[in-house]
Structure 1
């Protein structure tokens, strides 16, 4: 402990009436001084915000600044402030050892198999732990400074790895943006458009029974089950009104609500529903309207 001010002790005659109890003497030492300073009014200030910011009460502000009222504050006006300060300033320095949590670093990796804006944790992070010894400097009981003396890492943090989606399908033929992947490898046996006096809303891709079917793009499964003439059917929503459909599956490998990445298994080629043989019926719909999938593959 150190007394920051110069203090002189001397003998002096004192009247008995001037002698005060110890607790009152301590209060005088800690609160017996006054410090006067100024404050310049800023835009948005009120008497209450000024009082809160400076540690004063509104009546005290008005007492120090006669004529001051909430309605006549002017930007740039200078107000008088006053606060209690100790008669003697006491500084203390001590050493403190405590444990501190070390935040885990986050590493972000772009992934074009995930939709734009979607994230997926590839590796969970873990906070670390360190034992830190500091020199703490106080003035009149208030901490005014710290200086680190030693630091010992007890447990190193483990980084968290996060995949950040960048894939985005643009509903155009410009070639910009993401492109759809072929859900199966095979020849197109029935194209998009007019067929048998009707309209074929997708393409049929030839493939053997049980051939794995992959998601053409990342997205969220919005249908996974039997759907009329499509038989076992999977619909994936890719955002911006774009949906892909996979029909006549022998078996479904995803669930409704599941997030999938581009190339993820969604089912197997079959001939369920209205199908003449094993193949994949593949559709692309934009805002509910079927478009030619080959424009995006």
Structure 2
């Protein structure tokens, strides 16, 4: 047993060309390809059944609706790959949004924007320290943070939204390239996904994230600073939640203490649908972003077909449960 543990530890951060790592990359490529194929299939189906799906007004709507969730799913991917979970993302969006927006009138958009991402990172730091050093389950820690952040947002504003935001912020949130087809906020999402994928797939830190999720004990034995990496993944998730708050506030021209409700569930769903495993050690930023886009296309297409919002929620639940079931079955088969 000890010999097997040592062998696993040596592989945790082993050479890039190790057969185990190659197989992992092949599996992830397959997952991403399947999600991409499903996305293309949905686009074709809705393009045929809903004539307005490809209209010049609907395409930007799809991108706008996915932008914030895509950014949150990047952060959630880091956390889930370590076998953790961050339930506080939606509430952090609300808290960071109202505090940052309230500062903008007196101190400018830049100061308010920086404050939003700082608040998000601080909540992430709080979550990460508790998860890493107290070993309290991430579900419990982030559920508590969800409640605290939501309550703090309501207390800060008295439950009232903040209006009359600077025009420069609103113009950015609703601006776009390519004749209005590529919104600025989706560009932020693309940049976040690119940077996240590079960090996760091309750095020692990223390999450590996978190692922790695959086998925490082996990661420790191989020299991974597990507590530090764990803290950092929650800081990343919090930082991106703050960025999501900025994007949402700019887009809707309002900072609402009730904003962000269920955003974390959408982000988790995007990661899982993208092939991420709630057991840890598997997933990628690209797949999570594709999962977010798939959810946006699914919601938009069903809405155009006249499906009620209640039925859409039911469909989303079925899709997520199906993805989790497939992942669980795959894990059992591998044992």
TM-score range, shorter chain: under 0.3
Between Structure 1 and Structure 2, the one with more strand by share is 1
Q: Which has the larger radius of gyration?
A: 1
Q: Larger helix proportion, structure 1 or 2?
A: 2
Query: What TM-score results when the alignment is normalised by the length of structure 2?
Result: 0.20
